[in-house]
């Protein structure tokens, strides 16, 4: 059995996401939550430029496909 370590939350300011990652939340499910803000869902697919910014940590997410 292989497991991957969780990614620390809020370590980057820009993230690239794919449609397979939707619905998009910040922090993402792969990130640890103990040192982060509450999870918030971001409607990136509805944005005209396919970008969304987290209201808590200001991380920017870009939908690439």
Q: Report the predicted TM-score, pTM, of the whole model to 2 decimal places.
A: 0.78
Question: Residue 9 above 70 pLDDT?
Answer: no
Taking only the tens place, the pLDDT of each residue in 21-42 is 999 999 988 887 767 889 999 9
Q: How many CA atoms lie within 13 A of 8 on its CB side?
A: 5
Q: How do the domains of the chain map onto residue ranges?
A: 14-63
- Taking the C-alpha atoms of residue 12 and residue 36, their distance in angstroms, rounded to an integer, is 13
């Amino acid at each position: 059995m292989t497991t991957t370590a969780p990614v620390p939350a809020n370590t980057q300011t820009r993230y690239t996401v794919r449609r397979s990652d939707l619905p998009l939340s910040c922090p993402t499910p792969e990130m640890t939550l103990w040192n982060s803000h509450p999870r918030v869902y971001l409607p990136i697919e509805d944005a005209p430029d396919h970008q969304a910014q987290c209201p808590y940590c200001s991380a920017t997410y870009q939908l690439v496909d």
